[in-house]
């Protein structure tokens, strides 16, 4: 699974939004106190918290080495401030999340300690000023406020540690080869599915970096080739948001909505190697059947292995992890499977990451409309001003009157 921790085992349903207690918000309230004052929302898992955050909330998380996807989700929720129980950048590698928050103007307080979860409850009013969190007049927690200077120093230190992380990544890769060589080499353990992939293209969507831009760029390709649309967990919702219905959903079902699971797509539940599939219970509760795929790889990897083994001629990946820093940014040893999976399917794999940045049309829709209008005016002028216009004008007039007669007949 994407995350071997016990918390991933729980099938998480989209949280229902609770009535929000409106508090004064902003850097400097009516009472003159500095900082950000708002409602607090708490969760040890960032992706669960983002489902119920509302604009202006103070988000309390427990996320070592805050990754880019989580940070972008917090920014899109328009949080007022982020308070992290753990260090947002530990120095293991130069992760991208803290910088994204600071660039968005969101205060980030780090390393406040786990006691804050016992001192605050969901919906409490808090004030974040500098590195201190207040509840009323009481100090709830103290931490380190990240600034551009502290972040630069942490990133410099983290870059120096990349070598150690690379060594650990290689060691994890070798362990994965020992466990899953039959799957990687011979496809042993890949389940049978109802969706036909043989001889077709497969578009695999992960709700990762730049997925919206890349899906938008691939619209002509999707329209022409009609690939099998495979959503990896929340990637199924990304397809629905873009106006497409997924043909297949692959994952441990912890970050996909009920509406996606009931959209009619075939469901493949990612299970542990011993066959335990915690996400299967949620699927069954929705009245859906599912195929179980046991593997120690990540969900995006088993989606690629499935498409390859079932005969897809081309695999187009959107939002997946592509380079070394992105592997580390997930903070999981299991990301070593991604490297090996790409070796297995490399001859078929096209990574759409960055397509939207590589190519953007420099001709706007208004420019095309103006071009067509000018061409029409030029052709009309040429017809009426040329000697042949005496012959063409009566013909066009007859055609126009015939059209009006037909149109009138529709309403009489």
Q: Do 79 and 121 lie in a common domain?
A: yes
In a domain, 176, yes or no: no
CB neighbours of 132 closer than 8 A, spacing ≥ 6?
A: 109, 139, 141, 142, 143
CB 218 within 8 A of CB 208: no
229, 147: one domain: no
Mean pLDDT across 102-113: 95
* Count of the separate structural domains present in the chain: 3
Tokens of 114: 């786990």
- Residue 141 is predicted with a pLDDT of 95
The pLDDT value recorded for residue 187 is 61
In a domain, 7, yes or no: no
Look at residue 197 and tell me whether its pLDDT is greater than 70.
yes
Res. 23: pLDDT tops 50:
no
State the pLDDT confidence band at 173, using cuts at 50, 70 and 90: low
Look at residue 179 in the predicted model and tell me its pLDDT.
66
Q: State how far the Cα of 365 lies from the Cα of 56, in Å rounded to an integer.
A: 36
CATH of the domain at 136: 3.50.30.10
Alpha-carbon Rg for the chain in angstroms: 27
pLDDT for residue 12 is more than 70:
no
| pLDDT (mean) for 188-211 | 90
Note whether 278 and 395 are same-domain residues.
Answer: no
Q: Check whether residue 346 and residue 376 sit in a common domain.
A: no
The yes-or-no verdict on residue 324 having pLDDT over 80 is no
Looking at the structure, tell me whether residues 326 and 404 fall in a common domain. no
User: What does 210-272 look like in DSSP terms, one character per residue?
Assistant: THHHHHHHTHHHHHHH--EEEEETTHHHHHHHTT---SEEEE-SSS--HHHHTSS-EEEEEE-
Residues above pLDDT 70, as percent of the chain: 74
What is the arithmetic mean of pLDDT over 318-328? Answer: 65
Tokens linked to 91 = 């120095």
Question: Residue 376 has what pLDDT?
Answer: 73
Picking from 139, 159, 179, the residue at the C-terminal end of a domain is: 159
Q: Using 50, 70 and 90 to split pLDDT, how confident is the model at 21?
A: very low
pLDDT band at residue 375 using 50, 70 and 90 as cut-offs: confident
Name the nearest CA neighbour of 253 among 274, 281, 212, 294. 281
Query: Please, what is the average pLDDT of the chain?
Result: 81
What is the DSSP secondary-structure string of 329-370? HTT-GGGHHHHHHHHHHTTTEEE-TTHHHH---SS-HHHHHH
- Paired strand residues for 270: 293
Flag whether 227 is in a domain. Answer: yes
Which domain covers residue 375, as residue numbers? 365-409
Distance CA 176, CA 225 (A): 35
Burial grade of 323 (CB within 10 A; 0-12, 13-18, 19 or more): exposed
> Look-up: residue for tokens 């009489």?
412
The predicted-structure confidence for 362-372, as pLDDT tens digits, reads as follows 556 677 678 77
Is there a contact between 70 and 45 (Cβ–Cβ < 8 Å)? no
**pLDDT given for residue 307 in this prediction:** 94
Where does 129-189 have alpha helices with state H? 148-160, 162-186
Domain assignment present for residue 134? The answer is yes
- DSSP, collapsed to helix, strand or coil, labels residue 38 as strand
Residue 122 pLDDT > 50:
yes
Within a domain: 165: no
Q: Which of 161-175, 188-202, 308-322 has the lowest mean pLDDT?
A: 161-175
My answer on whether 337 and 221 are in the same domain is yes
From the list 112, 169, 117, 197, the residue with the least C-alpha distance to 146 is 112
Higher-confidence position of 394 and 293: 293
Higher pLDDT, 377 or 245: 245
Residues 40-57 have a mean pLDDT of 93
The confidence score (pLDDT) of residue 362 equals 55
On whether the CB atoms of residues 269 and 285 are closer than 8 A, the answer is no
> Same domain for 67 and 119?
yes
CB atoms within 10 A of CB 324: 15
* Nearest alpha carbon to residue 10 among 319, 253, 274: 253
Task: Say whether both 23 and 108 belong to one domain.
Answer: yes
Q: Which of 358, 375, 401 is the C-terminal boundary of a domain?
A: 358
Mean per-residue pLDDT for 98-112? 94
* Residue 390 CB coordination number (10 Å): 9
According to the model, what pLDDT value does residue 201 have? Answer: 95
Q: Are residues 250 and 324 in the same domain?
A: yes
Cα distances from 56 to residues 37, 50, 126, 149, 234, in angstroms, run 9, 12, 12, 25, 24
Q: Does 267 lie in the same domain as 248?
A: yes
Cα separation, 211 vs 244, whole angstroms: 14
What is the percent of the chain with per-residue pLDDT over 90, rounded to a whole number?
46
Is 166 inside a domain boundary?
A: no
Instruction: Please check whether residues 127 and 231 belong to one and the same domain.
Output: no
177 within domain boundaries? no
> End-to-end alpha-carbon separation of the chain, Å?
65
Decide if pLDDT at 5 tops 50: no
Closest-CA residue to 36 (of 94, 106, 119): 106
Q: Residue 358 and residue 269: Cα distance in Å, rounded?
A: 34
Look at residue 329 in the predicted model and tell me its pLDDT.
58
pLDDT of residue 158: 79
Output the CA torsion 345→264→241→258 (10° steps): -110
Provide the pLDDT for residue 309.
92
Enumerate long-range contacts of 388-391, CB under 8 Å, 24 or more apart.
Answer: none
Does residue 291 form part of some domain?
yes
Domain final position from 341, 358, 375: 358
Give yes or no: residues 51 and 134 share one domain: yes
């Amino acid at each position: 699974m994407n995350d071997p921790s016990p918390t991933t085992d729980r099938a998480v349903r989209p949280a229902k939004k609770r009535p929000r207690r409106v508090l004064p918000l902003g850097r400097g309230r009516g009472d003159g106190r500095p900082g950000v004052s708002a409602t607090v929302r708490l969760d040890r898992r960032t992706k669960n918290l983002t489902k119920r955050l509302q604009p202006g909330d103070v988000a309390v998380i427990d996320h070592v080495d805050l990754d880019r996807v989580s940070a972008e989700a917090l920014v899109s929720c328009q949080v007022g401030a982020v308070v992290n129980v753990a260090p947002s950048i530990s120095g293991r590698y130069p992760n991208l999340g803290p910088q994204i928050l600071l660039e968005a103007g969101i205060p980030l307080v780090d390393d406040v300690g786990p006691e804050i979860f016992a001192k605050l409850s969901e919906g409490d009013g808090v004030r974040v000023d500098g590195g201190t969190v207040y509840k009323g007049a009481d100090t709830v927690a103290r931490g380190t406020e990240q600034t551009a200077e502290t972040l630069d120093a942490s990133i410099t230190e983290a870059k120096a540690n990349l070598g150690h992380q690379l060594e650990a990544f290689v060691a994890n890769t070798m362990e994965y080869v020992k466990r899953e060589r039959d799957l990687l080499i011979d496809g042993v353990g890949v389940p049978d599915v109802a969706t036909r992939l043989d001889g077709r293209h497969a578009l695999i969507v992960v709700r990762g970096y730049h997925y919206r831009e890349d899906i938008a760029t691939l619209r002509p390709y999707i329209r022409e080739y009609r690939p099998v649309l495979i959503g990896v967990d929340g990637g199924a919702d990304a397809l629905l948001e873009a106006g497409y219905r997924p043909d297949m959903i692959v994952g441990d079902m912890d970050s996909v909505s009920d509406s996606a699971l009931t959209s009619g797509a075939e469901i493949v539940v990612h299970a542990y190697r011993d066959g335990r599939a915690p996400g299967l219970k949620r699927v069954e509760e929705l009245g859906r059947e599912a195929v179980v795929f046991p593997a120690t790889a990540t969900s995006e990897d088993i989606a690629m292995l499935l498409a390859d083994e079932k005969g897809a001629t081309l695999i187009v990946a959107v939002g997946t992890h592509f380079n070394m820093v992105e592997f580390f940014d997930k903070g999981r040893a299991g990301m070593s499977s991604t490297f090996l999976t790409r070796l297995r399917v490399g001859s078929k794999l096209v990574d759409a990451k960055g397509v939207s940045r590589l190519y953007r049309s420099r001709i706007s829709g208004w420019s095309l409309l103006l071009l067509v209008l000018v061409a029409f005016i030029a052709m009309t002028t040429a017809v009426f001003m040329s000697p042949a216009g005496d012959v063409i004008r009566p013909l066009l007039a007859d055609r126009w009157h015939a059209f009006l007669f037909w149109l009138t007949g529709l309403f009489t």
